[in-house]
Structures are given as C-alpha cells and as structure tokens.
Amino acid sequence: MSYVDEVLEKVKQKNPDQPEFLQAVTEVLNSLRPVVEANEEKYRKLAILERITEPDRQIMFRVPWVDDNGQVQVNRGFRVQFNNAIGPYKGGIRLHPSVNLSIIKFLGFEQVFKNSLTTLPIGGGKGGSDFDPKGKSDNEIMHFCQSFMTELYKYIGADTDVPAGDIGTGAREIGFMFGQYKRIRDLYEGVLTGKGLSYGGSLARTEATGYGLLYLTQELMKCHGESMEGKTVAISGSGNVATYAAQKAQQMGAKVVTLSDSTGWIYDPEGIDIELLKEVKEVKRARLSEYAAARSSAEYHDKKNADDHGVWNIKVDIALPCATQNELNLDDAKALVANGVKAVCEGANMPTTIEATEYLQQNGVWFVGGKAANAGGVATSALEMSQNSERLSWSFEEVDQKLKGIMVGIYHAIDDAAKKYGMEGNYVAGANIAGFEKVVNAMIAQGVV
C-alpha cells in the first residue's frame, strides 16, 4: 500500500466521527501523491504524514456565562494548535452553533497550508465555540467573550498563538476578548488580530479576505487572457468575506448579482448596492431579506432546505462561495457548468465538496481552493502582527499593496507547483504542494518534535 493510502487509512480509523476533518485530509493527501511518492521512504521513516495530520494539541473547555435573564448558559470552547513549524499558531475563532471538534480540526489543518502559502512566518491553528451570537445582546456577547478568554488566555500569546475572527467573530468580539486578555495578563501585546484601529488593529484587515480573493481571481483571469471588467459574479454569504469580495469585484468593473445567508438568498440583476448591504449587515446586524425589502431590483428567495443553494443556479461568469463548508455540491457544480461558468474561487473554507470540485475541474472550470484564494485575511493578520511588533501602523495603501503582492504571488506559486508536478491548471494540487513543501522542510530541519 502506498504511504498516502496507509496514512489515510490510519487517520480514518483514529477519527471515525470527524467527517469534515477527514474530508480536508483526504483532499490534501490525495493531491500530495506525486510529492510523497518522490520521497516515499524518507517521509515514511520520519512519519511526516502522521505528524502533519495530528494536531500539536487540542484544547476543549467549558464556557459558562450569564444571560440577560440571569440564566447561566454553558457552551463548549475549542482551540486546536495544529502545527507551529514555521511560526506561532495563527487562525480564527468561529462562533456558530454547528461548531464541534471535527470542524475546528478541519479548519486548523487547512490553516497550516494556507498560512504557509502566504510566505509569512505563521503556523496553523483554529478555535471557536458552539455559542450562537445571533439574537444576543451586546452585554451577552461581552459576557460570553470574557468567559471564553478567561480559559483561552492560558494557551495563547503574541509569540505562541494568535487568534482572529471567523464566522460569528468580528471586531466587536475581538475587542471584548482583547480587553479580557489584557486585564488578566496585564500585558498589552498583539495576541489577537482583527483588532479595532484605535488599539493596534491594521488598516485593511476588515477588507482583506474579500479584497485578496479578488486580487487572486483577477490574476487568474489575466493569465487566461480575460479581465474582471464586465463579468457577472455570483457570491454566497453576506458576512465579512462576501461583503468585501462584492465591493472589490464591483470596483474592478464586474457585476455581483447574488448573495445569501442561512435563511435565504437574493438575486439583484442590477448589481449589489454595497452601501445598503453594509447598512443592513454591519450596522443593523439584520437579515438579507431587509436588503431586498429596501431595493426594488432585488428578488428575495427563502431557503427551502439545507441543500437549497439557489445562488449557484444563476448564470454567471465567476462564482465565489463565501459562506461556509460544503455549500456548493455536485448538483450546484453541474448547474454552474451548464450555465458556462469560467472560474470558481473559494472565499470560504472548504465550501465546495470533493465531488463538486472534481466535476468543475473535469469540465475545464478554473478552480482555486480556499487555502490559496482566501489567504488574504490571514496574510493581513500577519501584517498586523508585524505592525504590533514594531509598534507602528502602516497606511491603508501600504497594507493593501502588500496584500495584492501576496495574492498575486500565491497565484503564481500554486500555478508553478502544479506545472512542476505535471498537473498544469490543477490549482488545488498546486496549493497543497506549495504549502506542504515549506512546512515539511521546516519540520525535518527541526527534528522529531
């Protein structure tokens, strides 16, 4: 049996109840076959694949807090520190009722390769809780965040592990967590990124994931003799990533015609009104249906069931899934291909199922996975860490220029890696290989640790 198959089997046996983690590992290890085969005996002897698929440590803890009615609530907190071969653990905190160990492990595993692709010195980790921020008052959010940090602070630090935002965690939550860390440790350090601008945050971090996604997509199009100008774009989600992806796409001359949330989706053939979107989602924290109610050109569709991903049925040139894992399945991929989609680039983490990814690739769609396409967020987090370390802050333009350079660089790195192993155009394999090589070299150099 090949070393890849051996390890895939072991990972399945050890984690039978973790479907998302197994999905992420299967995708990565399958695409690493040519690299692993070229180093089969060496990697087997050093147990490289066993080590890279087993987190350094997994922390799970109780998060008790008191709601506005005086009722004590208990959530479960997680931090998975996956791999710190190339820098301190780095990765977001997801607050969503669906959060469990499988989801945090898949995100932490992917983060290792993504962070490596940024070229910056950051290892991979992820955290979160099954806490649901929806419908909670600011007071409840603060109490939860303070309780979460009262345990998490033991394991993190500016040179150890630096969390950030993800689904359900934005500037408000990061602010409450930072305040509690500072209070407990009596230490003013860059322990979190995505901070507010008045206390160590970086300009352009809010925009970074969405903007970065578009910088990479633009480079992909350019290298295929196309531009963003005049293209029609479908985006899913309506949170941080979706909002700034839509904004940058329209600044580039494309028209974004869809958005979604967990209850429904909109089709706006005249192009998304970004200011209205921000007002509804960022200021009012309301549902997308309110966007449609305020804009006559927009149609609102209720989500019929969990498998209803209506946005992928719209005819577009480019699709950018920016909501959550497994939101674009084989049927969605078929609908996109039938409508002539040219490119699919993932703003979310693992939004496309393995079958859908393969179908898109087999049908000539230029497909870039999240580890490369959404790396702009964490890359800019690393730039925030640099600014915190030198106790300076850079201008928006300086950060944005660096972000653009990093995303264009990532596109070429994954394109080159795919070509080097005879898989031209397979950007999924290219990203996994390029991300893996750097981490493995560092692991080997550092010995058996």
Which residues form the catalytic set?
126
**Shorter beta-carbon distance to ligand NDP: residue 35 or 268:** 268
Closer residue to ligand 2IT, CB minimum distance, 97 or 230: 97
Q: How far is CA 242 from CA 165, 236, 321, 334, in A?
A: 14, 7, 8, 22
Draw the binding track, 156-195, toward ligand NDP (x: CB under 6 A; -: no contact).
---------xxxx---------------------------
Complex with ligand NDP: residue 232 or 324, whichever CB lies closer: 324
Is 348 a binding residue for ligand NDP by CB under 6 A? The answer is yes
Residue number with CB closer to ligand NDP (39 or 262): 262
Query: Taking CB under 6 A as the criterion, which residues in 104-123 touch ligand 2IT?
Result: 114
Return the one option of ligand NDP, ligand 2IT, none that residue 262 interacts with (CB less than 5 to 8 A, by type).
ligand NDP
Q: Which stretch binds ligand NDP (CB under 6 A): 69-77, 179-187, 258-266, 290-298?
A: 258-266
Instruction: Tell me the pairing of strands 255-260 and 232-235.
Output: parallel
* Residue (249 or 383) nearer to ligand 2IT, CB: 383
Select the residue whose beta carbon is closest to ligand 2IT and give its number.
92
Q: Which segment (50-58, 90-98, 304-312, 438-446) binds ligand 2IT by CB under 6 A?
A: 90-98
Q: CA torsion angle for 225, 230, 233, 238 (degrees, to 10)?
A: 130
Nearer to ligand 2IT, 280 or 372 (CB): 372
On the 0-12 / 13-18 / 19+ scale of CB atoms within 10 A, 358 is middle
Which of the listed partners (ligand NDP, ligand 2IT, none) does 241 bind, with a CB threshold of 5 to 8 Å by partner kind?
Answer: ligand NDP
| Binding at 400: pick from ligand 2IT, ligand NDP, none (beta carbon under 5-8 Å per type) | none
Q: Which amino acid is at 47?
A: A
Minimum Å distance from CB 397 to ligand NDP? 20
* 248 is a contact residue toward ligand 2IT (CB under 6 A): no
91 binds ligand 2IT (CB under 6 A): yes
Footprint of ligand 2IT on 375-394 (CB under 6 A):
377-378, 381
Residue type, 31: S
* Shortest Å, Cβ 90 to ligand 2IT: 5
By C-beta, is 189 or 279 nearer to ligand 2IT?
A: 189
Q: Please, which residue, 168 or 201, has the CB nearer to ligand NDP? A: 168
Report what 323 binds from ligand 2IT, ligand NDP, none; CB cut-off 5-8 Å by kind: ligand NDP
Instruction: Check binding of 261 to ligand NDP (CB under 6 A).
Output: yes
Which option in ligand 2IT, ligand NDP, none does residue 193 bind, with CB closer than 5 to 8 A by kind? ligand 2IT
Q: With binding defined as CB under 6 A, does residue 86 bind ligand 2IT?
A: no
Q: What's the closest the beta carbon of residue 281 comes to ligand NDP, in angstroms?
A: 8
Report the alpha-carbon distance of residue 391 to residue 387 in Å, rounded. Answer: 6
Query: Is residue 333 close enough to count as binding ligand 2IT by CB under 6 A?
Result: no
Q: Establish if 241 lies at the interface with ligand NDP (CB under 6 A).
A: yes
How far apart are alpha carbons 236 and 151 in whole angstroms? Answer: 34
| C-alpha closest to that of 10 among 20, 22, 19, 24 | 22
Segment interacting with ligand NDP (CB under 6 A) among 11-19, 47-55, 59-67, 232-240: 232-240
Taking CB under 6 A as the criterion, the residue among 77, 87, 88, 92 binding ligand 2IT is 92
Give the binding site for ligand 2IT (CB under 6 A). Answer: 90-92, 114, 164, 166, 193, 349, 377-378, 381
Give the binding site for ligand NDP (CB under 6 A). Answer: 96, 98, 165-168, 209, 237-242, 261-263, 322-324, 347-349, 374, 377
